[in-house]
Structure 1
Amino acid sequence: MAPIIHCVRHAQGLHNLCTENHVIHDPLLTDLGHEQCRKLRENFPRHAEIDLVTASPLRRTLYTALESFGPVFETKPDLKVIALPDIQETSDVACDTGSDPSALKDEFKSHVDLDLVQDGWNNKVYFFRERQSGRYVPTNHALKERARAARRWLKARPEKEIVMVTHGGFLHYFTEDWEDSSTGWTNTEYRTYTFSEETHTEDLEGYELDGDNASIEETLDSRQRRGKSGPMASREEQKLLYKKGTQGWDDQGLQMSTADREAAKVPEGKEINGVRV
């Protein structure tokens, strides 16, 4: 049976304080961020049921995972956070670009499993004019591909209940829920998902896939926890919401790479509800 996934946005990082801090490479958590982790640790009700904790290899997500889910590691001392490069944040600005594997190994030592974090995982360079891109570049196509790869990886895991700590922007691609794309997730917010019983073989843009999309659905309890009534929007509705959401992000310069921003001359702004504008 496919596992239950608890998706978590990281705690407040230094880059969340102001636009000027977006130049900080792979920033750490703020004092408030550590406090948010403490509160999540106290309030999360299912530490005892968690079999696996995975996180984006950026420092703010790794520390959020370690601090917020300490009870999991205390009861399962052999368990480590598995760092998963595919769930790193979407943009190529400095604050969303991770550290080299050697630096992460020195900093996190035996607490994090970094076997999947190879050289090049933090290379997000996109050549605008040549349209040259790699796995982690900030384009809709690449983001959809690695979000789907992450879902497939998690769906194939033997664990029954998994925590995944990642980023606000990437979570829209991972969950394929674009209902609230203009507001986003708050720091340390968690939502709970199960894998759909339906097999989808095309993405939200209608492109055919090389197999199962590994679609997920937010549970009713999770939606009620955040003030929503009824189930997630249907897949057909999500196709319309996706088009509207990504277009809105493009219009505001949210999903552009550094090269795209320079080419389009989109001025930088500030963060609103966890989304940089």
Structure 2
Amino acid sequence: MAPKLHLIRHAQGYHNLDPSCWNLIDPLLTEEGKKQCSELSHNFPTKATVDLIVASPMRRALYTGLEAFGSILENNPASDIIALPILQEVSDLPCDTGSELQDLQIEVEQKNLPVDLRFVEENWSHKSGKYEPTSEKIQERAREARCWLKERPEKEIVVISHGGFLHFLTDDWEDGNKFEGTGWANTELRTYEFVTQEDDLGNDDDDASIQETAESRQLRDYEMGESEAIDTLL
């Protein structure tokens, strides 16, 4: 049975503060971002049933996983965060460009971080080949990511990625510019399940499509309604 996916946009990074910070390469989390991780950890509904945490190798995504799900990693030392480069952000701006693999390896080793870098290639941050910032290439790696996740043996997987890429991963573009280039807030959580589709001949047309669960959608609608009500009062 295909796993359930808990998709999360990373916490606030320094590049989120102002467009003038977009020239920062692979920025870290701000203090506000760390607070968001603490809130995510406190509010996450099913930590006890999470089998795996997967994240973009970009530092803001990795550290969101480390900050928010540290208790899972401590309770299960064999379950490191898997860094998956196909989850990286879509543009070739400096802030959306990851660190070189060697630098990540040194950081993980020196800080003794529970991060598995085995899937990270030498050129993962070069924005070339399958990582080109074109719609066609981004769609291809979004499908590759879904297929990779679908084949995992775990039942519940946390996936930490980026505001732009999450639209491609889910094929959901609702409120795509609600925030800077995305409809996802920092540390926003949405839960998805895989769905089976068929082509015109009735054969499985397995694009590894996913659909947001009814419970996740209802919770989002409720939270959006609460936010709009507060805005009206203000």
Return the alpha-carbon distance in structure 1 between the equivalents of residues 4 and 198 of structure 2: 17
Tell me, what secondary structure is at the counterpart of 1:226?
Answer: helix
Is 1:144 the counterpart of 2:115 in the alignment? no
Contact 2:196-2:206 within 8 A present in 1 as well: no
Return the alpha-carbon distance in structure 2 between the equivalents of residues 2 and 169 of structure 1: 25
Residue matched to 1:51: 51
Return the alpha-carbon distance in structure 2 between the equivalents of residues 24 and 222 of structure 1: 34
Equivalent AA in structure 1 for residue 21 of structure 2: N
Residues 160-199 of structure 1: pairs in structure 2 closer than 5 A:
160-183=155-178, 184-199=183-198
Is 1:96 the counterpart of 2:96 in the alignment? yes
Return the alpha-carbon distance in structure 2 between the equivalents of residues 152 and 68 of structure 1: 26
Contact 1:22-1:93 within 8 A present in 2 as well: yes
1:111 to 91, 106, 114: 114
Closer/same/farther in 2, CA of residues 8 and 199 from structure 1, 3 Å limit: farther
1:217 to 203, 206, 211: 211
Equivalent AA in structure 2 for residue 136 of structure 1: Y
Deviations 1:78-112 (A, max 9, x none): 11000000010000000000001111111123511
Contact 1:54-1:81 within 8 A present in 2 as well: yes
Q: Which runs of 5+ in 2 are unaligned?
A: 223-234
Tell me, what secondary structure is at the counterpart of 2:159?
Answer: strand
Tell me, what secondary structure is at the counterpart of 2:22?
Answer: helix
TM-score by length of 2: 0.87
Is 1:72 the counterpart of 2:66 in the alignment? no
Return the alpha-carbon distance in structure 2 between the equivalents of residues 64 and 174 of structure 1: 19
Two-structure CA RMSD over aligned residues (Å): 1.5
Return the alpha-carbon distance in structure 2 between the equivalents of residues 179 and 23 of structure 1: 28
Deviations 1:44-84 (A, max 9, x none): 01111000000000000000011111121122121100000
Deviations 1:217-236 (A, max 9, x none): 000110111117xxxxxxxx
- Aligned-residue identity in percent: 53
Contact 1:5-1:161 within 8 A present in 2 as well: yes
Return the alpha-carbon distance in structure 2 between the equivalents of residues 59 and 189 of structure 1: 17
Aligned residues: 212
Return the alpha-carbon distance in structure 2 between the equivalents of residues 186 and 95 of structure 1: 17
Residue matched to 2:8: 8
Q: CA deviation at 1:144?
A: 0.2
Closer/same/farther in 2, CA of residues 106 and 200 from structure 1, 3 Å limit: farther
Contact 1:199-1:213 within 8 A present in 2 as well: no
Residues 124-139 of structure 1: pairs in structure 2 closer than 5 A:
124-125=127-128, 134-139=129-134
TM-score by length of 1: 0.74
Return the alpha-carbon distance in structure 2 between the equivalents of residues 29 and 48 of structure 1: 25
Tell me, what secondary structure is at the counterpart of 1:173?
Answer: helix
Closer/same/farther in 2, CA of residues 49 and 22 from structure 1, 3 Å limit: same
Contact 1:199-1:215 within 8 A present in 2 as well: no
Equivalent AA in structure 1 for residue 220 of structure 2: R
